[in-house]
Amino acid sequence: MKKLSAWIDGLGLSAIAVVLLGYVLFQAQFAELHLKFSFLNFPVFVGEILLIFCSLLFAIRWLINPPRWRNWYWLIVIYIGFVLAKAFYGYSKWGPLAFRHAALMYYPVFAIYTAAFIQRSYFKEWLKLVGVGVILSIFVLDTFNLYFVLTLAGTAAILIGSLRTAWLRWSLLVLLMVLTPYRYFFQTARMMIMGHFFFAAYALIVISVLIRWPLKYKLAIAGVLVAGLIVGITQISGTNRIVSMFHVGRFIDTFKYYEGVAAERAHKYVPMENKAVQIYNPDDGGNGTGRGAYDLSDAQRNEASLNIQHIIEQKKNERDSSDIDDPEILQGDVNNSVFRLMIWRDMLREYAAHRPLFGFDFGKPLRAITLEIIGWAGSEWKRDGWISAHNSFLHILYRSGVAGLVFIVGILSYLFKMMRDCIRLRSVTGSVLCGMVLCWFVAANFLVVLEVPYSAIPIWVMYGAAAKYCHVKKQQGIQPEEANEVDK
């Protein structure tokens, strides 16, 4: 039975790894591969096929090697029942879009499956080398979803650090440091940059506690890290992109301007009809942004910037614009932020007006009325009939209400607990895993991350791996004063 259980675990992990590789390399193009059945009016995508496969393996594993039942398992049963009930009710009322919204809540199951499948015996030396080789090859070929640069580098570092042969470990570590495309830590979405900042801050804490080197060496490492951040901001990202995340005055001016535009046009507003709400847009081109998930197009950014040229001219002569190289580029990024703020404001207004205890129906199209009035993203409204929240945690609250709030508090509390435990146990591997999850969770506050499979499933797999790793280390009873290097 143990051999069969180990074989099932290996099969499950291998299937997850193959699908994750497809997501990293091909993003939406791979995620949209699907099966179509005559008795279903919606496609079954790769992520759902993987979910079904892993569910079957998990059920078989449970039957042949049943664990001792714990009372908190009932929380998982209630959670799954809640998601399924909302999904099927939403499907009966609104159609297949309900299952896309349900995915936001059922993708976390991959954390459970990963924690169940992952076993130390699976990671043989040759398999670690294959994993490192694949990641280094991806970096060399330079064809992957740039959002995953930290995830790939961190995973490679963990695999390399666990190798038994010292010379091979150090050689591959040097090779990783040489081949990692550091520019992509900054040449990416602004909120991924913010996530990388949070990872760097956490890394500084870990370095100060875990590495038993003299203070001068720790300060040197911290200095290199800070210098790298400064160079990345000034030479790669551009100061405008960073300034645009914190330029409160510009946010307020722009928001007020478009509030005025919306107020002037509100009396002419006629809601567009949702004649054909789509679950996804197969003609999107696979750009990785997700269906209904997008920033303003270049044309919209330029048009919006021209519409508020008077704001730019005014700010050029003010003190708070003295450090801005190109106000028009800055304004384009600010417009994208205001675009999100208006969606969130409309969501909160709608929630406050209806107060659904357990959130709005899965399948109910999300409409940002202010954006429709202004005329932003009109082609997307007509094509999809809905828009993404661009804030995964707010979207969870919008769709699940009180249950969503409990879920968010639970996963964040447990993540912070894992981060604390990894530092207490002096675990570099656990800290890196938690740091990568933290990075993605920061980005999820501003991007479409937990809604789409090519980012959500990898995130929850990392969360499950971190949870299993921390649990095993705590079971081993390693005390801080006894721990030196516990990651091999």
Q: How many domains does the chain have?
A: 2
Burial 168-178 (b: 16+ CB within 10 A, else e): ebeebbeebee
| Predicted local confidence at residue 284, as pLDDT | 53
Mean pLDDT of 64-77: 87
Domain of 213, in residue numbers: 2-69+107-219+426-475
Asked if the model's pLDDT at residue 485 lies above 50, the reply is no
The answer to whether residue 96 sits within a structural domain is no
| Predicted local confidence at residue 266, as pLDDT | 80
Residue range 265-294, pLDDT digits in tens: 887 777 766 666 777 766 554 443 333 333
The answer to whether residue 450 sits within a structural domain is yes
Asked if the model's pLDDT at residue 482 lies above 60, the reply is no
Are 294 and 432 contained in the same domain? Answer: no
Average pLDDT of the chain, as a whole number: 82
| Predicted local confidence at residue 255, as pLDDT | 81
Q: Is the full-model pTM beyond 0.75?
A: yes
Q: Looking at per-residue confidence, does 165 or 308 come out higher?
A: 165
| Predicted local confidence at residue 173, as pLDDT | 94
Q: Six-digit token pair at 5?
A: 């259980």
Asked if the model's pLDDT at residue 53 lies above 90, the reply is yes
Are 364 and 443 contained in the same domain? Answer: no
Are 25 and 156 contained in the same domain? Answer: yes
| Predicted local confidence at residue 107, as pLDDT | 96
Q: Which residues pair with 104 in a beta bridge?
A: none
Residue bearing tokens 């956490």: 202
Are 25 and 160 contained in the same domain? Answer: yes
| Predicted local confidence at residue 89, as pLDDT | 95
Least confident residue range of 24-28, 62-66, 151-155, 156-160: 62-66
Asked if the model's pLDDT at residue 87 lies above 50, the reply is yes
Asked if the model's pLDDT at residue 24 lies above 80, the reply is yes
Residue 249 Cα distances to 194, 245, 341, 355, angstroms? 20, 11, 14, 32
Instruction: Write down which residue in 344, 372, 390 finishes a domain.
Output: 390
The answer to whether residue 233 sits within a structural domain is no
The phi, psi pair for 34, rounded to 5°, reads: -155, 165
The answer to whether residue 59 sits within a structural domain is yes
Are 212 and 248 contained in the same domain? Answer: no
Q: Check if the beta carbon of residue 403 is closer than 8 Å to that of residue 82.
A: yes
Are 41 and 165 contained in the same domain? Answer: yes
Are 327 and 455 contained in the same domain? Answer: no
The answer to whether residue 284 sits within a structural domain is yes
Are 364 and 285 contained in the same domain? Answer: yes
Asked if the model's pLDDT at residue 439 lies above 50, the reply is yes
| Predicted local confidence at residue 72, as pLDDT | 86
Instruction: Write down which residue in 365, 390, 415 finishes a domain.
Output: 390
Mean pLDDT of 139-162: 94
Q: Check if the beta carbon of residue 93 is closer than 8 Å to that of residue 361.
A: yes
What percent of the chain is modeled with pLDDT above 90? 46
The answer to whether residue 406 sits within a structural domain is no
Gyration radius (Cα) of the chain, Å: 24
| Predicted local confidence at residue 294, as pLDDT | 37
Residue bearing tokens 């580029």: 329
Are 294 and 162 contained in the same domain? Answer: no
Asked if the model's pLDDT at residue 479 lies above 60, the reply is no
The answer to whether residue 228 sits within a structural domain is no
| Predicted local confidence at residue 388, as pLDDT | 85
Asked if the model's pLDDT at residue 189 lies above 90, the reply is no
| Predicted local confidence at residue 354, as pLDDT | 93
Residue range 295-330, pLDDT digits in tens: 444 444 444 444 444 444 444 444 343 333 444 445
Q: Got the DSSP string for 238-264? A: -HHHHHHHH-HHHHHHHHHHHHHHHHH
Least confident residue range of 8-22, 28-42, 121-135, 236-250: 236-250
Are 383 and 304 contained in the same domain? Answer: yes
Binned at pLDDT 50, 70 and 90, residue 163 comes out as very high
Binned at pLDDT 50, 70 and 90, residue 486 comes out as very low
Asked if the model's pLDDT at residue 464 lies above 50, the reply is yes
- Start-to-end CA span in the chain (Å): 27
Are 33 and 170 contained in the same domain? Answer: yes
Q: Six-digit token pair at 263?
A: 């107020």
Asked if the model's pLDDT at residue 459 lies above 90, the reply is yes
The answer to whether residue 76 sits within a structural domain is no
Binned at pLDDT 50, 70 and 90, residue 12 comes out as very high
Are 141 and 247 contained in the same domain? Answer: no
